[in-house]
Structure 1
Amino acid sequence: MRATAARFGWVALCLVPLSLGVGRFWYLYIAPGEGIPYQYRSVALSATDGLAALTCVGWLAWRWRSGPQPGVPRGTGFVLAALALLALAAAASLNAAVDRSIALGVTAQLAILVLFFLAASDLLARFPRRHVLTVASVAVVSQALLAAWQAVAQSTTPAGRLFNGWATELTAHDQGASVVMLPVAGRWLRSYGTFPHPNILGGFLALSLALIAINDDPRLSRLRAVALVAGLVALLLTFSRAAWLAVLLGAATGLFATPGAKVTLLRIRGRLAVALALALFMLVVLVRVGSQGSLVERNSMDTRRFYDSVAWKVVARGIPVGAGNLVLAQQHLLGAASAGSEPAHDVFLIALAELGPLGPAAWLSILGSLLAVAWLRRADRSARAGPLVAAAVLAPLLLFDHYLWTQSPGRVLLVLTLALLMSLRAAQGSDKQPGAAGRQVETSAAACCRPPGSLNTFAGS
């Protein structure tokens, strides 16, 4: 029975990457707000939330009265404590929050995600990681194919209606952040995949590519090569500068941290395709940077500066534990005409406004905990790569966008990324990990079918 519960939790965990692209929500509560999109003023459940909860249920059923078990991988406690601090900061803001129902919903999800991180870390140490990485690779390739179709058709059809419930699809003729100006093509629709915004697709691809690239399981080499090439091309089509920066920093950090500085991409059969994808990547980056003077780009930058200034006005009200949901607080404290309908594009600034000084301190502690884990694992260069890459990829996404905090699936994506990159060991082509007594764990099909309680797969304490 316990073995079945563990496998149930593992299957739910493996399906999370696929569910992230489904933008359908079940709304439990919607706060009043003038012109504010529902996702910024609601408590809602998604398929991703359900799978995260099922992962926790399966893990708890397996762990219930199971007796002493091997500890989690070394350093996991640091990240767990940092996530718990973030949940504590959210709980502390409840009394001062403009809308307590939304603040309570965020706090409850963060508490569940602390448990989800522990459950995912535990399950990842007992089941072959290639399962969840295979699903992540399939998700990346699927999103890439749809992104390519959207680039050709210059329309979000059919993803907007099908996956997000939109009334109409977007095209290159629409206004706003969905369009960029290219030197020859003119107005160009950024690719959405199945996500509600190109930046969210870009963030998903950046984090997924980090997970896939740092893994070196030979059994996934072909799928991995396809996912890397497809993911890089799709990332270009999002025109997300934060995601581009995240990938560049993650790649540089991975090369630095990988043992022997041996580039894994040079060993795959598709190295020519990867080289072409990288060349195209740099070309599109230069084109996007070169178009900064266009009206569309100036409007985008002006909008970001406006919402940053609005957030600082909320911070200036001096609420010690924050004002709760930033978009609602903006309209409540400053008036709808002066506040707009979106949050700032900076998670640290949003956290300062919503949770007080404890908010950005918690986010910094998450990044700091990753560096601390890398330091603890400094003797094993393969084990330190995951935490370092996680910090490098997450930092620009947190500094220059907001969906990893303001979107419920984004928070799940963040925690899943932390768990996976903490568990991955770069440049090791097997699922073997040293046990507490130096033993090697079996990862054959027979071993996978044993009750999870019988598997000795943990590395360190």
Structure 2
Amino acid sequence: GLAQASAAMIQFITQHVASSTWLGMAAQSPETSGVAVVVTTTGRWLRSYALMPHPNVAAGLMVLGLIALMLLKKNNWWLPLMSVLTFGLFLTFSRSAVIVWCLMLIVLTIMRKVSLSQVLTTVATLAVSIAVYWPLVSSRTLNEQYIEQLSITERQDQLQNFQDLLPRYWPQGIGLGQFALDYDQPIHNVPLLIIAELGIFAVIIWYWFMFRSVKLSHPSAYFLLAIFLLGLLDHYWWTLPSLLLLWMFVVGWGYQGKYHSINQK
């Protein structure tokens, strides 16, 4: 998490993503077409990729990093790290990840898994970041720039494509990975994407298997909730093998915690 946040800050300051063969990262600059940017009246601003192929993916991992930090470290010495992670998350300008993080913060607070100092640290960091970079935040939230309007239009088109497929392919789907091949991009919703590619029965089995591992007293429950919420707003937990593997690791961790407690009884 700290490595992701540090890379995010360096990239935003330099407005450049350096290429890396070892990390599988391509060079990115805001002037290049197709690069994730925030457009304002002053120009194009690079959204931080951190060490991932897209800012949204980096943001999703930083959300998990923040949850881990809140659950595992309640010592005040870790508050600066929490602030760094929150700022790194902000610099991705990922609307979906920030929304999910705010929801998870509410859940963790209700479940009394976080301290007041932790909540105040992350809220204050977000508030100051929004105030300082308001022109960029307003561009992402008010959808006045063409690039934001295009993003919304693309997601509406993806939903329409899904609705066109559903009547014909709802039992068996069109095939794993086929949605992106047929329609440029996968639909930004994991449950709907699974239905489109593998059918309605597959999504029922998939989420039944996932939620069956949940034990509220186990930390994995909060990670799974975050992954589920992020999956409602983007597709990378299903389309990126490394993220899918991480998802399955968390599910397995949940089963391990659940059956370990049963065996102790």
**3-state SS of 1:252 partner:** helix
RMSD: 3.0
CA contact (8 A) 2:8 2:48 kept: yes
**What is the Cα deviation at residue 226 of structure 1?**
3.7
Distance in 2 separating the partners of 1:277 and 1:422 = 35
Preserved contact between residue 139 and residue 145 of structure 2 (Cα < 8 Å): no
Structure 1 segment 280-299 matched on structure 2, within 5 A: 280-283=128-131, 287-299=138-150
Contact 2:170 2:200 in 1 (8 A): no
Matched residue of 1:187: which SS?
strand
Identify unmatched segments of 5+ residues in structure 2: none
* In structure 1, C-alpha distance between the alignment counterparts of 2:160 and 2:14, rounded to whole Å: 37
CA distance in 2, matches of 1:300, 1:177: 13
2:51 and 2:31 map into 1 onto residues whose CA distance is 20
Cα gap change, 1:173/1:291 in structure 2, threshold over 3 Å: closer, same or farther? farther
Provide, for residues 232-252 of structure 1, a one-character-per-residue CA deviation record: whole Å limited to 9, x for no partner.
111001111111122111111
Provide the C-alpha distance between the structure 2 equivalents of 1:208 and 1:418, rounded to a whole number of angstroms.
17
Identity of aligned residues (%): 23
Match of 2:126 in 1: 278
- 1:306: Cα distance to partner? 1.7
Please name the residue that 1:105 is paired with: none
Say which SS state the counterpart of residue 193 (structure 1) adopts: coil
Q: Which amino acid aligns with 2:94?
A: S
Contact 1:292–1:298 (CA under 8 A) maintained in structure 2 = yes
Any idea what the Cα deviations from partners look like across 1:349-373, whole Å, max 9, x if unmatched?
Answer: 11001111122213432564366x3
Question: Is structure 2 residue 211 aligned with structure 1 residue 354?
Answer: no
Aligned 8 A contact 2:93 2:140 in 1: no
1:258 is aligned to 2:91? no
- Determine the C-alpha separation between the residues in 2 that align with 1:280 and 1:240: 17
- Once residues 303 and 315 of structure 1 are traced to their aligned partners in structure 2, the CA distance between those partners, rounded to angstroms, is 18
Q: How far does the alpha carbon of each residue in 1:205-238 deviate from its partner, in whole angstroms, 9 at most, with x for none?
A: 11121122111365xx63x434321111110011
1:344 maps to 187
Match of 1:237 among 65, 68, 91: 91
Q: Is the 8 A contact 1:141 1:231 kept in 2?
A: yes
Alignment of 1:53-132 (within 5 A): none
Please give the alpha-carbon distance, in whole angstroms, between the structure 2 residues aligned to 1:347 and 1:354.
10
**For residues 204 and 90 of structure 2, what CA distance do their matches in structure 1 show?**
33
Partner of 2:44: 187
Shift of 1:288: 4.9
CA distance in 2, matches of 1:393, 1:148: 23
Deviation for aligned residue 1:165: 5.1
Partner Cα separation in structure 2 for residue 281 and residue 359 of structure 1: 41
Query: How far has the Cα of 1:459 moved from its partner?
Result: 3.8
Instruction: Tell me whether 1:249 sits opposite 2:103 in the alignment.
Output: yes
Match of 1:342, SS state, is: coil
* Distance (Å, rounded) in 2 between the aligned partners of 1:272 and 1:215: 17
Q: Tell whether 2:234 aligns with 1:401.
A: yes
Mapping for residues 308-327 of structure 1, pairs under 5 Å? 308-318=159-169, 320-326=171-177
How far the C-alpha of 1:281 sits from its partner, in A, is 5.0
How high is the TM-score relative to the length of structure 1?
0.50
* Distance (Å, rounded) in 2 between the aligned partners of 1:150 and 1:303: 27
**Unmatched runs of 5 consecutive residues or more in structure 1:** 1-139, 332-338, 375-382, 425-435, 437-457
* Per-residue deviation, 1:273: 5.6
Aligned residues of 1:253 and 1:392 also touching (Cα < 8 A): no
C-alpha distance 274-290 of structure 1, shift in aligned 2 (>3 A)? closer
Give me the whole-angstrom Cα distance separating, in 1, the residues matched to 2:87 and 2:38: 17
Q: Is the 8 A contact 1:229 1:274 kept in 2?
A: yes
In the other structure, the counterpart of 1:208 is 65
Partner in structure 2 of residue 176 of structure 1: 34
Corresponding residue for 2:248? 415
Aligned residue type for 1:278: L
